[in-house]
Structure 1
Amino acid sequence: MPWIELSLTLHADQQERIESALNELGALSVTLLDAEDHPIFEPMPGETPVWPTIKLAALFDIVCDRVGLVHVLTDLVPEIAPDQLQFRDVPDEDWTRAWMDTFQPMQFGRRLWIYPWNIEPPDDAADAVIVRLDPGLAFGTGTHPTTALCLEWLDGVDLNGKTVVDYGCGSGVLAIAALKLGAARVIGVDLDPQALESSRDNAERNGVVDALELMLPADYTAVPQDILVANILAGPLDELAPLFAASIKPGHPFALSGILAGQDVELLRRYSEWFTDLDVAQREDWVRISGCRR
């Protein structure tokens, strides 16, 4: 059935009261979006940060009394003016199908493909390396430039029989790709227990879970391995440089991403203490740093 969407722009300190009032009035769902350009990167587990200015959208039953809804909401939250509130009709739609239709197979490098579960690879894709992911995953499917940069790098590295460290494994897409590209073992590390569960679930779906060892950072001990990839953020990458240096064998490769263009300058200086042949690749506003352990 169709719905009514009520939307307004508000400040972060108003969000909790307005959302609570909308729920009291029978909102079927409440969605928060960034009203300006204040990206939030990798909140800590349990954190629910919001943007300074928020666009809120609430769905109501199509038979809802719009005039009455405005009257009661402005009574409950007096700082809301009626002219702040906008309504639109939202037609009925299969939202899962709509999302799945936007998530199409993607190629990274020469061999590697990410396929959603709802699309079968063609018969002539026998030589392709295919990772299957649930279309319900919003991040870690390869659509973000940082993930794409790392997937392309993995496709170009000799992984056969190697042990790979995936630090900040998230959905597990990089770990799974590494295993499907020939790695013998991957150590996946993430500070979010839910991310570890997601990695495990996706690895099971791809038939590689037995070769994937998952752990929290507190349980990770740096032992020199063949390859390291880390798709996190510039701040943690700076702090973790000594740990990463202790996690890679001399002469072996690594790649870092989650780095905004411009942040690479300081990271290149930082990592040059332990790494050589440093190279920068860029996609949109994001960069990847790669090189070898001295």
Structure 2
Amino acid sequence: MPWIQVKIDIHPAQIDSIEELLLTSGACAVTMEDGKDQPIYEPERGTTPLWKHTQLTGLFDAAADMQSIIPKIEARYQALSGSPLPAHRVEILEDKDWERAWMDNFHPMQFGTRLWICPSWREPEDPNGINLMLDPGLAFGTGTHPTTALCLAWLDAQDLKDKVVVDYGCGSGILGIAALLLGAKRVIGVDNDPQALEASRENTRRNNIEEDRFEIYLPGEAPDIEADVMIANILAQPLISLSPTLANMTKKDGLLVLSGILEQQASDVSECYSEWFEMNPPEQKEEWIRLSGSKR
């Protein structure tokens, strides 16, 4: 079953109130983990000490409308505490999301005919292939999730030579870096998570790509641009609300690729973008859909 997770960076004193808000807002489960690598040694009997910097994760069904749920959580927390909800982010749960636990099982993977995604700690299986060396850190995007795999396979099939690409919701940078390795001239990456921006920068260096070829921005800070290719692998509701923005950032006859969409959400997203784009039939992998089109 596909899932969405909400990650919130909190102080231990905030746990009870935020955990309750997540559960009453539809979270199926809430977990806590160390946010800053702080060891806890031999706690006193009967106590449950928590880390000074704790990351609280709420797990939601992937069909949940997070664009309406998150503002309600923010408003209720503001009313209860008198302060804003701490820093948080919403992302698709990858197939292997336990922190670093997938490393032993993350093998080089081929997408299409040319492109390979290779863990940075392993040797490429095809030295003559286009090998993207990846360490996603805490950001979304390893290629193991169907939404990312669908986008990588699409990129491999395109002629990207000298193209300008926007990767909206860049996460680990996997799609933007793949586009550069496949011939793109320039990529603009956008993400609202500072950890994602750092992961994108580090993976750009790891693949020996000049940093000025992969420009990385927070939303609202990206330059005015008309891209040859617009890629957005996020979620259905944000894709719908961002449709005018993504359309304005795509040039006439430019290509559009959207993912992070469940099968039952695809028609709504496609109908929304059809105002600006000639949409192609959807492509599916497991429960997830990739939409593509070209701007009129």
TM-score (norm. length: structure 1): 0.69
Change (3 A) 1:278 1:137: same
Q: CA 1:137–1:102 in structure 2 vs 1: closer, same or farther (change >3 Å)? A: farther
Larger Rg: 1
1:13-162 aligned at under 5 Å gives the runs 13=20, 25=47, 38=61, 46-47=87-88, 99-122=102-125, 125-126=127-128, 128-134=129-135, 136=137, 139-162=140-163
State how far apart, in whole Å, the 2-side matches of 1:250 and 1:118 are. Answer: 41
What is the letter of the counterpart of residue 161 of structure 1? D
Measured after TM superposition, the shift of residue 147 of structure 1 is: 0.6
Cα offset, 1:253, TM superposition: 1.0
- Give the partner amino acid of 2:189: G
TM-superposed deviation, 1:105: 0.8
Structure 1 contact 222–246 (Cα < 8 Å) conserved: no
**What residue is the counterpart of 2:234 in the other structure?**
232
Provide the rounded CA distance (Å) in 2 between the counterparts of 1:293 and 1:225: 11
Are the equivalent residues in 1 in contact too, given 2:261–2:290 (CA < 8 A)?
Answer: yes
Q: Does the CA contact (< 8 Å) of 2:116 and 2:131 recur in 1?
A: yes
* CA distance in structure 2 between the partners assigned to 1:106 and 1:145 by the alignment: 13
| Identical counterparts, % of pairs | 50
Give, in whole Å, the separation in 1 of the partners of 2:175 and 2:252.
22
CA distance in 1, matches of 2:240, 2:259: 12
Aligned residues of 1:222 and 1:243 also touching (Cα < 8 A): no
> 2 CA distance for matches of 1:114 and 1:281?
21
Cα distance in 1 between the residues matched to 2:230 and 2:274: 16
The one-character-per-residue Cα deviations of 1:196-215 (angstroms, maximum 9, x if unpaired) are 11110111111113310111
Give me the whole-angstrom Cα distance separating, in 1, the residues matched to 2:261 and 2:180: 24
2:74 maps to none
Instruction: Give the whole-Å Cα distance in 1 for the aligned partners of 2:119 and 2:142.
Output: 9
**Residues 190 and 219 of structure 2 are in contact (CA less than 8 Å); yes or no, is this contact kept in structure 1?**
yes
- The CA deviation string for residues 2-58 of structure 1, in whole angstroms up to 9 with x for no partner, is xxxxxxxxx94399xx979x96636799998879x7458798981279xxxxxxxxx
Question: CA offset at residue 223 of structure 1?
Answer: 2.2
Distance 1:247 1:216, change over 3 A: same
Q: Map 1:254-265 onto structure 2 (within 5 A).
A: 254-265=256-267
C-alpha distance in structure 1 between counterparts of 2:191 and 2:56, whole Å: 26
**Aligned residue in 1 for 2:268:** 266
- Equivalent position of 2:176 in the other structure: 175
* Distance in structure 2 (CA, Å) of the matches to 1:143 and 1:186: 22
Q: Per the alignment, do residues 48 and 113 of structure 1 end up closer, same or farther by CA in structure 2, a change over 3 Å counting? A: closer
Native 8 Å contact 1:133 1:141 kept in 2:
yes
Q: Is the 8 A contact 1:117 1:135 kept in 2?
A: no
Give the 3-state SS of the residue equivalent to 2:220 in structure 1. Answer: helix
TM-superposed CA distance for 1:184, in Å, is 0.7
Quickly say closer, same or farther: Cα 1:264–1:232, change in 2 above 3 A.
Answer: same
Aligned to 1:92: none
- For structure 1, list consecutive stretches of 5 or more residues without a partner in the other structure: 1-10, 50-94
* Matched residue, 1:245: 247
In 2, Cα distance between equivalents of 1:223 and 1:19:
40
The CA deviation at 1:220 is 2.0
Normalised by the length of structure 2, the TM-score is: 0.69
Aligned residues between the structures: 233
Work out the CA distance in 2 between the residues paired with 1:181 and 1:163. Answer: 12
Measure, in 1, the Cα distance between the counterparts of 2:217 and 2:279: 30
CA drift of 1:268 comes to 1.3
